[in-house]
A and B are shown apart, each in its own frame.
Chain A
Amino acid sequence: MSDVGSAIEFDHVPCPFCGLLCDDLKVVRTRVTLKVARNGCSKAIAGFERVLPTASPQIGGRNVRLNEAVAEAASMIRKSSSPLYGGLATDVGGMRSVMSLADHSRGVVDHAFSESVGFNMKVLQSAGWIMSTLTETRNRADVVVIVGSDVHTLHPRFFERIVCAETSMFDKANKPRTVVFVGEGLDQSAATGPRVGDVITLPCALDRVDEVVSALLARMRGNPVAGDSVAGVPLLAIEDVGKKLNDADYSVLVWAPAGLQTHDSDLTIHAVSDVVRLLNKTTRAAGLSLGGDEGATTSTSVCGWQSGFPTRVSYATGAPDYDPLANAIPNRLASNEADLLVWIASYSPDLVPPDTGLPTIVLGPPGMNLPGSPAVFIPVGTPGIDHSGQLIRCDSVVSLPLRNLGRSNNPSVASVLSAIEAAL
């Protein structure tokens, strides 16, 4: 950190705005304005440079002091028989407070992205998998397969930092990597430069990627596939990818769960994992799941170690009860099995609560694009900008310390929820 006139420079800043948690940003703060001076992608710039309006805690749209909003929220939670805790876009400290409050108030815990995280959880709980991480992939992968999700749009620096990285440990002759895209219309513009060799596309519709992956698996197992094309992709092209995978020393099959457009995307991920398992009988290969935006990986992990289960846990009985269908907030709302929604967001102002007639308490960033006035609104800081914190990366292995860049004094989710719990 250095002071240049009235501007303060921060180096090695971790970015909380997508699951990659790039930590090489340079950010300059001038009073309450942030500017990403180095290594900012479109998401980082939008996140760090968003102009923060002033915001006050509110009860029914009326400005109140924080302690009044906290007392009102506590009163509503106390009266609720089973509050729904949704959104959950926060950091480790915030998620710990969510878990404590949900346990205390016999509530339900469900992250905004639990549906797509759930695709991965179904595979983990039914078969497991062989996985890699970002650094391992960056240094080792000789074939990278992007499966059915628009990775470059969802994670704008994935190619730059992982696939196209200038230096890696094990490529003796700096052998260019083969990149395979399964699905048409995926942004391939970043798969370029000296580190990228062949770029192969299996151009099927994105909702038919599962058919192509299944055909690939079948042919690699030596099983017949009817016809000479699958979902519009010539079988020979699919078989050629199978051969490249078999010949690779370390192939990595990458997906972003929220980006998959197949029906029953868990089965697509299952098939991808089967391809990886098969490859490992003779060579090395691994899967790599991206995603993890809005603190989704953090939410899953903290819920996992504190309750024993992924999100979509209910404490209604006093003990954690995991049911990914019954405890999905959309299902609870649709079946009128709820009397209060507590919505927690601290990154994007667009992560708004679902449209519901239920009384709603919102902890959100100032300027949140709410359709109306919730019963209680408490503006909170963004971890890594307004207060320090910790976040877990998309690979569920690495976590980063987040810095307080001093933009505002908005309180953390953890401090607000702790105050609410203390007032219960």
Chain B
Amino acid sequence: MLIKLTGGKVYDPANGIDGELRDIYVQDGVIVATPPDARIDEEYALQGRIVMAGAIDPHTHIGGGKMTIGRLMLPEDHRGDPVCRGDLTRAGCGHAVPSTLTAGYRYAEMGYTAGFEPAMLPANARQAHMEMADTPMIDKGAFAMLGSDDFFLRQLAANDDIEAIKDYVAWTLHATQAIAIKVVNPGGISAFKFNQRQLDLDEQHAHYGVTPRQVLLTLSRAVKELGVTHPLHVHGCNLGVPGNVETTEHTIAGMEGLPVHLTHIQFHSYGTEGDRKFSSGAAKVAELVNSHKNVSIDVGQVLFGQTCTASGDSMRQYGNTGSASPNKWVVMDIECDAGCGVVPMRYRDKSFVNALQWAIGLELFLLIEDPWRIFLTTDHPNGAPFTYYPHLIRLLMDKGFRNDMMQKINPDAASSSVLASLDREYTLYDIAIMTRAGPARSLGLKDRGHLGVGATADITVYEDLADREAMFATPVFVFKNGELIVKSGKIVKVVQGATHVARPDYDKGIEKSLRSYFERFHTVGFDNFSLSDEEIITHGYGSLVIQPTAARV
């Protein structure tokens, strides 16, 4: 089967193509070079249309226990967005914490072909993968959370050899079928179980005596030396706390040049200036990111309306429960492994704090120079549901629209932000970097996020509309593995994406210590903890893609 996409304007930053008119050939799901004299089975005339690789969301909470807690807790939110069964699609519901099925459909209908769950607790990995398996259309992957689990903290407190820690990190990637490692409030989730209510970068954990700085440096080094492509994915200390821009500054400076991805950095860019002791730290953070090439970030943009925050950061989520709207919330201590907090949130444009959070996110987008090191996220659903992405893209691409929106927000917040003075408008090339090429490169997806020969044919075609929100909300065509799955923003074929994993080498000797640890302390046996490949490839509707890792150092 040979498909030709003819005459579209192609944005493919991984291959340096910036809006060139090109033909693309797809054979058996893969992009191929121009075949000589081949018979074309299907041709799509794309003159005047925009062609990009399928979009990749590198940080979206789509699978795992805390999402299902959010679903079960908020029937009132679902009732506003019921989704009927279609000719091809299953019923479900949308909005803040959509059903898995609806999430998959809506991602595809927006031109996304992959999404990565960033906070998979190892103890909950099996369920996270079950939920992702029930998220159709898109490729998936997950980041395993470490750093507040007692096995690692015991290793760190005992000054275990870095090689043993690396073995444990690698074993975790294998056992949980993960592609990367995330740390959330380093050591802080555990500290909260010991009744510590905050843990700054150099503050000691009450029981283990270790600090978040040690956790970050150790895990970052382990991930790097294991050859895992995606750097340690860091949800830092003091999320949401006014003044945390200093923590972020010290975190960046303290990484000693080790690669690190700072996630939802908007929530970590708060100063304490002004009457309300809440101000933007975006300029400072942007300057630090611009000058530290070892750092990449995603924003976690806040957009207005009802949503639900869901995080592994039980300590900080407990601290945020006073803002819960509606007033109900869940906090959990989990399995000597991690924790979670689920707090519904309504961001209001007339609230000074919420409006400034909105402005801080946009300031970060506009002040950070290198689009290869900044990814477009709302930290779904923490800042806003992922379905708001087209709106966010328009905010970035259209200064007039941005200024109009600024007129609607709390005036004190607007006047305390530098946003109105920022003239930058993202180009389609920038957007293609931020939503495709950048995440693919950072996550180590070698055949996704680009349109070069050999790439998997995940391709999105847009109408070139002046209203970028409308353009990005309703792609003309979306292809997954070369199959047409979406036409005019509606699903025409239901497919099941793959699960991407990374499997660095490790010394199996670590399993002896782990077996003993599980036997002494856990309620699940070592042999039943790991997820087998068969569990991912359930009934043949899942599949695995093992992405390459570099040699271990």
Q: Which of A's residues lie within 8 Å of B, judged by CB?
A: 11-12, 14, 23-24, 92-93, 96, 100, 103-104, 121, 124-136, 138-140, 161-162, 167-170, 249-250, 280, 283-284, 286, 300-302, 304-310, 315, 317-322, 390, 392, 396-401, 414
Chain A's closest residue to B535 (CB) is A401
Contacting residue for B99 out of A92, A249, A280, A306, CB 8 A: A306
A399 touches B330 (CB 8 A): no
Shortest distance from the beta carbon of B172 to any chain A beta carbon, whole Å: 16
Q: Return chain A residues, CB-CB under 8 Å to B97.
A: 308
B193 touches A136 (CB 8 A): yes
Q: Return chain A residues, CB-CB under 8 Å to B134.
A: 96, 305-306
User: What are the 8 A-B residue pairs with the smallest beta carbon separation, nearest first?
Assistant: A319-B82, A318-B84, A308-B93, A128-B328, A308-B78, A135-B335, A134-B523, A308-B99
Q: A103-B91, A135-B522 are in contact. Are A318 and B195 (CB under 8 A)?
A: no
B68 touches A304 (CB 8 A): yes
A322 touches B195 (CB 8 A): no
Q: Return chain A residues, CB-CB under 8 Å to B131.
A: 305
A283 touches B91 (CB 8 A): no
Shortest distance from the beta carbon of B113 to any chain A beta carbon, whole Å: 21
Pick the most buried of A12, A309, A322: most chain B CB atoms within 10 A of its CB.
A309
Could you list 23 examples of A-B contacts with CB < 8 Å? A12-B528, A92-B130, A96-B134, A103-B90, A104-B85, A124-B330, A125-B74, A131-B332, A135-B335, A135-B524, A136-B333, A136-B334, A139-B336, A284-B195, A306-B100, A306-B134, A308-B99, A319-B83, A320-B92, A320-B99, A398-B335, A399-B127, A401-B126
Chain A's closest residue to B150 (CB) is A169
Is the C-beta of B231 less than 8 angstroms from some C-beta in chain A? no
Is the C-beta of B512 less than 8 angstroms from some C-beta in chain A? no
How far apart sit A101 and B426, CA to CA, in the bound complex (Å)? 46
A121 touches B72 (CB 8 A): yes
B123 touches A125 (CB 8 A): no
Chain A's closest residue to B195 (CB) is A284
How far apart sit A132 and B336, CA to CA, in the bound complex (Å)? 10
B71 touches A309 (CB 8 A): yes
Q: A92-B130, A306-B101, A401-B528 are in contact. Are A286 and B538 (CB under 8 A)?
A: no
A23 touches B528 (CB 8 A): yes
Chain A's closest residue to B342 (CB) is A128
Chain B's closest residue to A287 (CB) is B332
How far apart sit A284 and B314, CA to CA, in the bound complex (Å)? 12
- Chain B interface residue number, banded: 35 or more
A135 touches B329 (CB 8 A): no
Is the C-beta of B67 less than 8 angstroms from some C-beta in chain A? yes
How far apart sit A401 and B332, CA to CA, in the bound complex (Å)? 23
Is the C-beta of B508 less than 8 angstroms from some C-beta in chain A? no
Binary contact track B116-131/A, C-beta < 8 Å → 1, others 0: 0000010110110011
Contacting residue for B85 out of A133, A309, A315, CB 8 A: A315
Is the C-beta of B10 less than 8 angstroms from some C-beta in chain A? no
Shortest distance from the beta carbon of B522 to any chain A beta carbon, whole Å: 5
Q: Return chain B residues, CB-CB under 8 Å to A250.
A: 193
Shortest distance from the beta carbon of B87 to any chain A beta carbon, whole Å: 12
Is the C-beta of B331 less than 8 angstroms from some C-beta in chain A? yes
Is the C-beta of B424 less than 8 angstroms from some C-beta in chain A? no
Is the C-beta of B98 less than 8 angstroms from some C-beta in chain A? yes
Known: A286-B332, A307-B91. 4 other contacts (CB 8 A): A92-B130, A130-B330, A304-B71, A397-B65
Chain B's closest residue to A315 (CB) is B91
How far apart sit A43 and B101, CA to CA, in the bound complex (Å)? 36
Q: Return chain A residues, CB-CB under 8 Å to B540.
A: none
Contacting residue for A307 out of B73, B92, B342, B521, CB 8 A: B92
B91 touches A401 (CB 8 A): no
A301 touches B336 (CB 8 A): no
Q: A103-B91, A307-B91 are in contact. Are A93 and B193 (CB under 8 A)?
A: no
How far apart sit A398 and B121, CA to CA, in the bound complex (Å)? 10
Is the C-beta of B292 less than 8 angstroms from some C-beta in chain A? no
Q: Return chain A residues, CB-CB under 8 Å to B528.
A: 12, 14, 23, 400-401
How far apart sit A310 and B75, CA to CA, in the bound complex (Å)? 9
Q: Return chain A residues, CB-CB under 8 Å to B535.
A: 390, 401
Shortest distance from the beta carbon of A120 to any chain B beta carbon, whole Å: 9
Shortest distance from the beta carbon of A4 to any chain B beta carbon, whole Å: 20
A12 touches B527 (CB 8 A): yes
How far apart sit A100 and B330, CA to CA, in the bound complex (Å)? 29
Q: Return chain A residues, CB-CB under 8 Å to B337.
A: 135
How far apart sit A321 and B82, CA to CA, in the bound complex (Å)? 8
Shortest distance from the beta carbon of A230 to any chain B beta carbon, whole Å: 28
Is the C-beta of B277 less than 8 angstroms from some C-beta in chain A? no
Q: Return chain B residues, CB-CB under 8 Å to A134.
A: 335, 523
Pick the most buried of A92, A103, A136, A139: most chain B CB atoms within 10 A of its CB.
A136
Q: Return chain A residues, CB-CB under 8 Å to B39.
A: none
Shortest distance from the beta carbon of A9 to any chain B beta carbon, whole Å: 14
Is the C-beta of B34 less than 8 angstroms from some C-beta in chain A? no
How far apart sit A208 and B194, CA to CA, in the bound complex (Å)? 34
How far apart sit A129 and B321, CA to CA, in the bound complex (Å)? 11
Shortest distance from the beta carbon of A272 to any chain B beta carbon, whole Å: 15
Q: Return chain B residues, CB-CB under 8 Å to A390.
A: 126, 130, 535
Chain A's closest residue to B124 (CB) is A397
Contacting residue for A286 out of B79, B101, B333, CB 8 A: B333
Shortest distance from the beta carbon of B36 to any chain A beta carbon, whole Å: 44
Shortest distance from the beta carbon of B311 to any chain A beta carbon, whole Å: 15
Shortest distance from the beta carbon of A142 to any chain B beta carbon, whole Å: 12
Contacting residue for A167 out of B83, B102, B520, B524, CB 8 A: B520
A398 touches B524 (CB 8 A): yes
Q: A135-B522, A167-B521, A390-B130 are in contact. Are A126 and B124 (CB under 8 A)?
A: no
How far apart sit A306 and B99, CA to CA, in the bound complex (Å)? 5
Shortest distance from the beta carbon of A397 to any chain B beta carbon, whole Å: 5
A317 touches B334 (CB 8 A): no
Is the C-beta of B532 less than 8 angstroms from some C-beta in chain A? yes
Contacting residue for B328 out of A103, A125, A161, A304, CB 8 A: A125
Shortest distance from the beta carbon of B82 to any chain A beta carbon, whole Å: 4
B92 touches A308 (CB 8 A): yes
How far apart sit A121 and B72, CA to CA, in the bound complex (Å)? 8
Q: Return chain A residues, CB-CB under 8 Å to B73.
A: 124-125, 128
A306 touches B336 (CB 8 A): no
Chain B's closest residue to A92 (CB) is B130
A397 touches B335 (CB 8 A): yes
Shortest distance from the beta carbon of B520 to any chain A beta carbon, whole Å: 5
How far apart sit A395 and B193, CA to CA, in the bound complex (Å)? 17
Is the C-beta of B400 less than 8 angstroms from some C-beta in chain A? no
Q: A128-B73, A318-B84 are in contact. Are A305 and B523 (CB under 8 A)?
A: no
A305 touches B532 (CB 8 A): no
Q: Return chain B residues, CB-CB under 8 Å to A104.
A: 85
How far apart sit A32 and B364, CA to CA, in the bound complex (Å)? 65
A305 touches B99 (CB 8 A): yes
Pick the most buried of A134, A249, A304, A317: most chain B CB atoms within 10 A of its CB.
A304
Binary contact track B234-252/A, C-beta < 8 Å → 1, others 0: 0000000000000000000
Shortest distance from the beta carbon of A96 to any chain B beta carbon, whole Å: 7
Is the C-beta of B388 less than 8 angstroms from some C-beta in chain A? no
Pick the most buried of B85, B337, B524: most chain A CB atoms within 10 A of its CB.
B524
How far apart sit A169 and B520, CA to CA, in the bound complex (Å)? 9
B525 touches A12 (CB 8 A): yes
Is the C-beta of B276 less than 8 angstroms from some C-beta in chain A? no
B75 touches A309 (CB 8 A): yes
B99 touches A133 (CB 8 A): no
